[in-house]
Structure 1
Amino acid sequence: MKKVVLVTGANSGIGLALCERLLSHDSQIHLCLACRNMQRAKAAKSALLVSHPDADISLVRLDVCSIKSVFEAAEEVKRRYERLDRLYLNAGIMPNPQISLKGFMNGLFSRNVISMFATGEGLLTQQDRVTSDGLQEVFVTNLFGHFLLIRDLQPLLCQPGHVSQLVWTSSSNARRSAFSLGDFQHSQGVESYSSSKYASDLLSVSLNRHYNTRGLYSSVICPGLVMTNLTYGILPSFFWTLIMPIMWLIRLFTNTFTLTPYNGAEALFWLSTQKPEALDPRAKYHSMTSGLGNNYTLPRKMDIDEEMAEAFYEKLLQLENRVRKKLKSEEDELDAYRSYLHQIE
């Protein structure tokens, strides 16, 4: 039976690079691209088939920002497959990133320049918004939508005698100082991206605690500093033209500047070659690229409080219960309205 691998956010950047690497390593897998934009998903599939003409690739529409879309995608996946071997939780956003030009110029000529570019600390803020589901957009896209997907796909992920793997794309920008258990959606702050990525680190630890006995294992990776559409949106294009030579120069001295999506996908790919049950549940696996362009994966312990992780998991379960009830109520109201229209026709 072919291994079934599902990748969210697979139509560009690190997600697409990961798909290319997975197919190059094992052309016998069934690869499912879970994407919001189906036109771009079809283009990604076509591109993959150029280099892997015999690849088994399917598409499913998934907008992790929409609760209804998550549930519909999960139902579609359950109709298609009997089990799911690996689920890459890669989709993410950083909406309306704002740069402090003063902080940028000061950091550019300081000893902290590498850390500034690698983490965005003290440099980046985001303008979040509330979705139609009443949730913070960054939180639901980067974390909660994926959490609901995992919960709905349990029948495929947790099967007796079978080991499945979850892999989260986190970030070096995931900082404990940006996360608050009292405001876990980060509605009161300006570092929603950092908060959501630290939340994924917390959640991964809790998922292992609750699901390892059922054969499901979760890991977290950091792709390093990668130039993707998300990254390029942070600064005007002319800034990147000016500083890219500096970025490549810095790459000679720091291995966290992976720069290309292919290099950034290194840890994601490496985890696919490991036994999930043998991995450290409290480690974040970092994609690294040497100055000479050699890729490798480096595990580092995460700054995680297990009690906080468990408390956060319970809050997510409570939120899940509320959104499911709300969605059910809205569907019941819609059904009642349709019935009324049918009666008066």
Structure 2
Amino acid sequence: MASTVVLITGANSGVGYATTAVLVEASSEFHVIMAGRSLDKLQTAMSEIQATGIKGSLSTLYMDITDDESIKQAADTVMKDRGRLDVLVNNAAIGFLHPDLRTRLRVSMETNVFGSAVVAEIFRPLLLKSSNPYSIYVSSGVGSLTGAATDPWSVPMEEGYRTSKAALNMLAVLEQKKYKSQGLKTFTMCPGLVVSNLRGTSDEARTLGGKAGDPRTSGETILSIIQGKRDAESGTLIHKDGVYPW
């Protein structure tokens, strides 16, 4: 059995998919559980990654992070099959545009904050069974209050997405303070501007007109966290080259 069990939400595309591939290509020590709402899409993604030739192992797991019962059932499955969880990558998120402000905020918070918070809460007992647990939230530099206040190029829009990421950052800070003494290392990680379905599924939206980078870079940042290379930055909002201010 693999020595490091990793669960990644939203693993069938974007940063989740790329991170899965990076981990299982890197070492046979990793077993990655690819979690998401569509088992068909997860199976397709898993088959694609396996076809490239990998060292680690993969499995799929149905989980809808907006449904508490679904999350509980997923955690029960991991407990039964693996007995613990070493790394939780809270990656699933949405970018939601709507003309009504209340709707933008509510829908963004439901997935990006409430969903991630409940996933963390329900899987935390499994993480604390690990001898070296990591909790990683895929957040964004656009959730930095300092950045929003001081960057002259900061976009004064996207209230739903940006507010949700700021709230997610707070959840991570509180988790770090509460569980650090039990050995849990918590990170928030900004993946940067990379190819993703977050902005839409058209090629123009996914690549932002060719401006978006390779999400494997984000996966490599997550790998460096799991390998312990960034332990000194636990409890911060990191990116591939350093740390963003809160």
Counterpart check, 1:284 vs 2:237: yes
SS of 1:173's equivalent in the other structure is helix
The equivalent residue for 2:124 is 154
The equivalent residue for 1:182 is none
Distance 1:280 1:49, change over 3 A: same
Give structure 1 regions of 4+ aligned residues with deviation exceeding 3 angstroms.
125-130, 236-244
| 1:103-123 CA distance string (max 9 Å, x none) | xxxxxxxxxxxxxxxxxxxxx
Counterpart check, 1:169 vs 2:138: yes
TM-score normalized by the length of structure 2? 0.84
| Matches of 1:88 and 1:241, distance apart in 2 | 23
The equivalent residue for 2:243 is 300
Which ranges of structure 1 fall in alignment gaps of 5 or more residues? 99-124, 131-135, 180-188, 248-257, 287-296, 304-345
TM-score normalized by the length of structure 1? 0.61
The equivalent residue for 1:335 is none
Pairwise CA distance, 1:155: 2.6
* Counterpart amino acid of residue 13 in structure 1: G
1:158–1:216 contact (8 Å) kept in structure 2: yes
How well do the aligned residues superpose, as a CA RMSD in angstroms?
3.0
| Matches of 2:14 and 2:241, distance apart in 1 | 21
* Counterpart amino acid of residue 89 in structure 2: Y
2:32–2:59 contact (8 Å) kept in structure 1: yes
Which ranges of structure 2 fall in alignment gaps of 5 or more residues? 149-156
The equivalent residue for 2:21 is 20
Q: Which has the higher contact order (CA 8 A, sep 6+)?
A: 2
| 1:114-144 CA distance string (max 9 Å, x none) | xxxxxxxxxxx977369xxxxx332121122
Residue 263 (structure 1) aligned to one of 217, 221, 245: 217
2:85–2:133 contact (8 Å) kept in structure 1: yes
- Report matched runs for 1:164-243 at 5 Å: 164-176=133-145, 191-232=159-200, 243=209
Pairwise CA distance, 1:273: 1.8
Distance 1:142 1:273, change over 3 A: same
Distance 1:126 1:21, change over 3 A: farther
Higher Rg of the two aligned structures? 1
SS of 1:48's equivalent in the other structure is helix
Percent identical among aligned pairs is 27
- Report matched runs for 1:35-114 at 5 Å: 35-52=36-53, 55-96=56-97
Distance 1:230 1:165, change over 3 A: same
Pairwise CA distance, 1:149: 1.8
Distance 1:193 1:215, change over 3 A: same
* Counterpart amino acid of residue 224 in structure 2: W
1:8–1:91 contact (8 Å) kept in structure 2: yes
The equivalent residue for 1:119 is none
Pairwise CA distance, 1:22: 0.4
SS of 2:125's equivalent in the other structure is helix
